[in-house]
Amino acid sequence: MPIRVTVWGEFRHEKRSEEVHKLYPHGMHEAIASFLRKNKDLKVRTATLDQPDNGLTDAVLADTDVLTWWGHLAHSDVQDLICERVVRRVQKGMGFIVLHSGHFSKPFRRLMGTSCDLKWRLGEHKEIVWITKPGHPIAAGLADHFIIPREEMYGEHFDIPEPMETVFISTFTPGGECCRSGVTYTRGAGKIFYFRPGHETYPTYYDPNVQRVITNAVRWAAPTPNSHEQTYGNRLEGWLDQPQPTNNQSRKFPKPTSRKSTTKSK
Amino acid sequence: MPIRVTVWGEFRHEKRSEEVHKLYPHGMHEAIASFLRKNKDLKVRTATLDQPDNGLTDAVLADTDVLTWWGHLAHSDVQDLICERVVRRVQKGMGFIVLHSGHFSKPFRRLMGTSCDLKWRLGEHKEIVWITKPGHPIAAGLADHFIIPREEMYGEHFDIPEPMETVFISTFTPGGECCRSGVTYTRGAGKIFYFRPGHETYPTYYDPNVQRVITNAVRWAAPTPNSHEQTYGNRLEGWLDQPQPTNNQSRKFPKPTSRKSTTKSK
Amino acid sequence: MPIRVTVWGEFRHEKRSEEVHKLYPHGMHEAIASFLRKNKDLKVRTATLDQPDNGLTDAVLADTDVLTWWGHLAHSDVQDLICERVVRRVQKGMGFIVLHSGHFSKPFRRLMGTSCDLKWRLGEHKEIVWITKPGHPIAAGLADHFIIPREEMYGEHFDIPEPMETVFISTFTPGGECCRSGVTYTRGAGKIFYFRPGHETYPTYYDPNVQRVITNAVRWAAPTPNSHEQTYGNRLEGWLDQPQPTNNQSRKFPKPTSRKSTTKSK
Amino acid sequence: MPIRVTVWGEFRHEKRSEEVHKLYPHGMHEAIASFLRKNKDLKVRTATLDQPDNGLTDAVLADTDVLTWWGHLAHSDVQDLICERVVRRVQKGMGFIVLHSGHFSKPFRRLMGTSCDLKWRLGEHKEIVWITKPGHPIAAGLADHFIIPREEMYGEHFDIPEPMETVFISTFTPGGECCRSGVTYTRGAGKIFYFRPGHETYPTYYDPNVQRVITNAVRWAAPTPNSHEQTYGNRLEGWLDQPQPTNNQSRKFPKPTSRKSTTKSK
């Protein structure tokens, strides 16, 4: 079964700026979707901000294993309801790949619980991406570092929670800044990867190393097949003497009454 | 300088239930504040839900180093604005001690990015609290375990992010469930500790081991003295050749233009 | 390409104790190898302590993607040289699954840097294994918990470093103890999983849930395909202007002079 | 009660090289001890490689709360026995601050379980130390970064386990490399901090920011007062009905028979 990927793009810069339009004539999301589509194990669709429900209806999300996210100008135009929908799907197991300026997106900030703020500087910098977790699936096929010839600078302090794994750290020249540029988290059953590169005025998403990282990350973040949804709430005594749930049969396990988040009256 | 502690209590059960009122005649928050006040290094105030601004005005939070939180019935009555205020103060360095049913409170869920759901069962259980991080400041003075004679059961899966440190795991008898019952996180400059015990119908907050843990946690979570607020946003070239910030002088460091979260127009 | 698994067994209890011999007539390692062999993606061999080089020659290890380890009586009979060989292979990317009393084995202790000590009690206990990381590949196919009807007790404090991920916590009845029973680490490029169950006098390795966990863990711990060995040591100036290593070509990257661990003379 | 600090120095470069001798006429360890001694809460001694027992007798270690370590040329001259002694004391709660080339020291590698290898280049670099964990006690008094005017380069990949906390990341100019330069771990009850700067031919240990970090780290790594040693080994049934250990009385708790690491015969 292929991994169902939804590539979400804000798709505003591309309509407003000739420079960006020239670089990404069909939008950055289409550039990303294009290289992902070359992999037979991935089934790729796109979605954009100005579609109904910001492109992320319940049906689309239910049909998504991994969501990638690029946004920048219009974070506040993402509806709160849609943000919550994304957050809940991640908690239930959907992979979430956050790209570049998506660090400031609503769903990423909601999942992190921090400001996700950082330092930045426009202009051409060499970005040197150092592999700090060799052997990690997201670093597959990469040597000890790779270089993106032209990129915007992002610098520490990057206000994120302590990562589960720091896969990449980038340095910038000229400058001297650095940034944790590839970091993993889990929230509930969902895996999250933030990947820094991707300024809209540079051809970053045509870079073969960047493409490789995003492709690796999609596979890494895909939900575990045969994963069981957890049961929460009230649990009566006597369960220990009842027939136990076994491999792959837990869906038949009697679900306890669900606990309501704010009205638990005992 | 003493650590300024604000003990926040929902203070509803105590007014509604004779059983709880008898146990905690001045409210659970006063019971908690009382044992904290015995320590000369702590300066303790209380705040409750039904006060203006839910007891947490900007002035109160600005004057708080560590906030402890007990809520249960009325999580949804905490104003969103107040929740955000607490979250932002934590991110700026305020310690946050979340007690028992506070796992479902708005600010804890906001800071965790997960559902914070769990299994539970009313009724008398022995709670055995195992120390899983000996040497941790929050476990100071404790042997390898302690027992709370009567408590409600909370059981795994407890839907929290992977903790930075798991200081305690509790088991419950009768039952056979377990729960990560003492876990630490950081969010921004703030330290967070969740501590499980504290059901309103049991005298848990009179238990000397529980008192010890909460006292230890308050000291652990206190903000680092002489901590500098970070600068974020646009950073011009040339900074490397300018005079550098030095010890304790960084506040004079020219603050770059702040980056607005959703309107970065470059 | 299949995952090459070596199932290492101490294979002493089975020769000395009639009770263990009856349960595992061909050794515990053969019981483990048998259920793994049912998976077409795994290519399984066994190795035992009393073979030359403790069964782990350079050739065997070079041909191993994932090593599982069960030892108990004779940890000290594993040669230090062989221990170092295993440790180095793990650091280079070999997966390492440590079972039950293997917590006290030489290579596990070397990789952890802690005493790996714990509490224990012989005799029949129900072991309830709680899933604390739903969505993790090692928990695939499992509901919220499973029960092993008869097991030895292991209890906290279990002296291991803070795990990267705590996938399972077990409780024991009778008793009331608990133990982090499924924990992950990385060391260098290698993934490590410790899994608690498996006392020699119980039929634990015939339990379908246990088999499922070990099978999952083998797949999870398999080295990342197309992973590059890192370069270390002296790095001359000017590298930034030289042709860069690219995808899958890094092996051609000129290797800097290796740094000797204790004789760096500059 | 003051924190008892032992500053360990290899003290070989200073005798062999005129350049180093000029910079550190009494040895690097004396330079470090000197600035620590300015703090009334610290009681500081030094110890060096060429003393009996490498300066670290049982008596010295028993009288040490925090050990700092600088070694480079002569890692292999540290006796294995002394290394094990240090490792065991750390596991029992002694803080351990590893400086610069100490990344390759025997006790640090033993505690980490990885090769601890990295890239390096002699010659003058500006080292920019970025604070990546604001609010951490080790970063107290520091702004968002500080600069060491002249240092050796260390670069990623630095082969350490995923840190508990990454407090600093350094970048180097000229160069473009980066290195996780301030990282924390725990092993048993002991806290460990690795801090990168400190090449012998530069006046790094006279730098006020470096002095501040090491002073902060010593305080952070000090053992938790009133911390109980854990009990391990066989645990008889019935403990749950016996009198429980209470605050500060656990030392009277009957110690179960100790489990021998390799000869558990049941």
What ranges make up the beta strands (E) of chain B? 3-9, 42-48, 66-70, 95-99, 119-131, 145-155, 165-173, 178-187, 190-195, 233-234
D68: tokens are: 């700092």
B6 vs C261, more confident: B6
**Residue linked to tokens 């509930």:** A188
**What is the reported pLDDT for D241?**
79
C1 vs B251, more confident: C1
Rounded Cα distance between A218 and C62, Å, is 30
What ranges make up the beta strands (E) of chain D? 3-9, 42-48, 66-70, 95-99, 119-131, 145-155, 165-173, 178-187, 190-195, 233-234
Q: How many beta-carbon pairs below 8 A join chains A and C? A: 124
Phi, psi of A192 (to 5 degrees): -125, 135
> What pLDDT band is residue C264 in, cutting at 50, 70 and 90?
very low
Asked if residue C233 belongs to a domain, the reply is: no
Q: Are strands A165-173 and A145-155 parallel, antiparallel or unpaired?
A: unpaired
Instruction: Read off the pLDDT of each residue in B10-31 and give the average, rounded to a whole number.
Output: 97
Among B99, B204, B83, B192, smallest CA distance to B151 is for B204
Asked if residue D205 belongs to a domain, the reply is: yes
A45: tokens are: 């669709």
What range defines the domain where residue B94 resides? Answer: 3-221
Euclidean distance between the first and the last CA atom of chain B, given in angstroms as a whole number? 45
Q: Do D208 and B144 touch (CB under 8 A)?
A: no
A177 vs B259, more confident: A177
Rounded Cα distance between A182 and A197, Å, is 9
Question: Percent of chain C at pLDDT above 90?
Answer: 85
How many angstroms separate the Cα of C263 from the Cα of each of B43, C233, C241, D21, D168?
55, 12, 30, 20, 27
Q: How many beta-carbon pairs below 8 A join chains B and D? A: 125
Counting Cβ atoms within 10 Å, is residue B43 exposed (0-12), middle (13-18) or buried (19+)? Answer: middle
Q: Do A157 and D132 touch (CB under 8 A)?
A: yes
Phi, psi of B182 (to 5 degrees): -145, 105
Asked if residue A72 belongs to a domain, the reply is: yes
Question: Percent of chain B at pLDDT above 90?
Answer: 85
Selected residues 11-70 of chain A with any CB under 8 Å from a CB in chain B: none
Phi, psi of B23 (to 5 degrees): -70, -45
* C18 has pLDDT over 70: yes
> What pLDDT band is residue C245 in, cutting at 50, 70 and 90?
low
How many residues make up chain B in this entry? 266
Q: Which of A72, A79, A119, A125 to mutate to test the interface with B (most CBs of B within 10 A)?
A: A119
Phi, psi of B67 (to 5 degrees): -110, 125
Cβ-based contacts of A115 with chain B (< 8 Å): 91, 188, 232
Any D CB within 8 A of C159 CB = yes
pLDDT in tens, C126-163: 999 999 999 999 999 999 999 999 999 999 999 999 99
Among A46-55, A247-256, C32-41, D115-124, which is the least confidently predicted range?
A247-256
Any B CB within 8 A of D140 CB = yes
Asked if residue C237 belongs to a domain, the reply is: no
Q: Do A169 and D165 touch (CB under 8 A)?
A: no
* A10 has pLDDT over 50: yes
Of A142, A165, A227, the CB nearest to C247: A142
Selected residues 205-224 of chain C with any CB under 8 Å from a CB in chain D: none
Closest CA–CA distance from residue D107 to any residue of chain C (Å): 10
Asked if residue B160 belongs to a domain, the reply is: yes
Query: Most distant CA pair in chain C: distance in Å?
Result: 69
* B55 has pLDDT over 80: yes
Q: Do D177 and C232 touch (CB under 8 A)?
A: no
**What is the reported pLDDT for A243?**
74
Cβ-based contacts of D133 with chain A (< 8 Å): 162
Q: Do C117 and D232 touch (CB under 8 A)?
A: yes
pLDDT in tens, D234-261: 988 888 877 766 555 433 333 333 433 3
Residues D27/D65, Cβ–Cβ less than 8 Å:
no
Please give the mean pLDDT across all residues of chain A: 92
Any A CB within 8 A of C241 CB = no
Cβ-based contacts of D161 with chain C (< 8 Å): 161, 185-187
User: DSSP 3-state assignment of D68?
Assistant: strand
> What pLDDT band is residue B247 in, cutting at 50, 70 and 90?
low
Q: What is the Cα Rg of chain A in Å?
A: 20
Query: Domains in chain C: how many in total?
Result: 1
Asked if residue B266 belongs to a domain, the reply is: no
Closest chain B CA to residue A229: B157
Residues D29/D9, Cβ–Cβ less than 8 Å:
yes
What own/partner pairs with CB < 8 Å and gap ≥ 24 does A14-21 have? A14/A200, A17/A200, A17/A201, A19/A201, A20/A200, A20/A201
Any A CB within 8 A of B255 CB = no
Instruction: Read off the pLDDT of each residue in B121-135 and give the average, rounded to a whole number.
Output: 96
Closest CA–CA distance from residue A18 to any residue of chain C (Å): 31
Cβ-based contacts of A190 with chain C (< 8 Å): 135
Please give the mean pLDDT across all residues of chain D: 92
Please give the mean pLDDT across all residues of chain B: 92
> What pLDDT band is residue B68 in, cutting at 50, 70 and 90?
very high
Among A128, A58, A123, smallest CA distance to A92 is for A58
Any D CB within 8 A of B247 CB = yes
pLDDT in tens, D115-132: 999 999 999 999 999 999
CATH number, domain at B18?
3.40.50.880
Among B92-106, B231-245, C39-53, which is the least confidently predicted range?
B231-245
> What pLDDT band is residue D135 in, cutting at 50, 70 and 90?
very high
> What pLDDT band is residue B142 in, cutting at 50, 70 and 90?
very high
Any D CB within 8 A of C122 CB = yes
Asked if residue B257 belongs to a domain, the reply is: no
Cβ-based contacts of B104 with chain A (< 8 Å): 261-262, 264
pLDDT in tens, B211-225: 999 999 999 999 999
**What is the reported pLDDT for B243?**
73
Closest chain A CA to residue B111: A113
Rounded Cα distance between C196 and C45, Å, is 22
pLDDT in tens, C24-48: 999 999 999 999 999 999 999 999 9
Instruction: Read off the pLDDT of each residue in A205-224 and give the average, rounded to a whole number.
Output: 98
* A130 has pLDDT over 80: yes
Q: Do D158 and A132 touch (CB under 8 A)?
A: yes
**What is the reported pLDDT for B260?**
39
Phi, psi of B177 (to 5 degrees): -80, 165
Of D128, D224, D230, the CB nearest to B137: D224
Phi, psi of B73 (to 5 degrees): -70, -30
Asked if residue D101 belongs to a domain, the reply is: yes
Q: Are strands D233-234 and C119-131 parallel, antiparallel or unpaired?
A: parallel
**What is the reported pLDDT for D235?**
86
**What is the reported pLDDT for A235?**
86
Instruction: Read off the pLDDT of each residue in A66-94 and give the average, rounded to a whole number.
Output: 98
Among B116-125, C181-190, C234-243, D77-86, which is the least confidently predicted range?
C234-243
* B46 has pLDDT over 80: yes
Closest chain A CA to residue C138: A224
B249 vs D3, more confident: D3
Instruction: Read off the pLDDT of each residue in A91-97 and give the average, rounded to a whole number.
Output: 98
Q: Do D171 and A166 touch (CB under 8 A)?
A: no
Cβ-based contacts of A180 with chain D (< 8 Å): 132, 166, 169
* D205 has pLDDT over 80: yes
Cβ-based contacts of A223 with chain C (< 8 Å): 135
Instruction: Read off the pLDDT of each residue in C62-85 and give the average, rounded to a whole number.
Output: 98
Subunits in contact with chain A (3 or more CB pairs closer than 8 Å): B, C, D
Rounded Cα distance between B187 and C17, Å, is 54
* C124 has pLDDT over 80: yes
Among A18, A41, A42, smallest CA distance to A32 is for A42
| DSSP letters for B106-135 | HHHHHHH-S----EEEEEEEEEEEEESSTT
* D56 has pLDDT over 50: yes
**What is the reported pLDDT for A252?**
36
Note the helical H segments in D203-263: 208-221
Among A173, A105, A111, A116, smallest CA distance to A145 is for A173
Buried b or exposed e, range A5-36, using 16+ CB within 10 angstroms = bbbbbbbbbbeeeeebeebbeebbbbbbbbbb
D1 vs B195, more confident: B195
Q: Do B177 and C171 touch (CB under 8 A)?
A: yes
- Bridge partners of C185, per DSSP, are C192
C37: tokens are: 């062999």
Among B168-177, C61-70, C226-235, D31-40, which is the least confidently predicted range?
C226-235
Among B74-78, B136-140, B172-176, D200-204, which is the least confidently predicted range?
B172-176
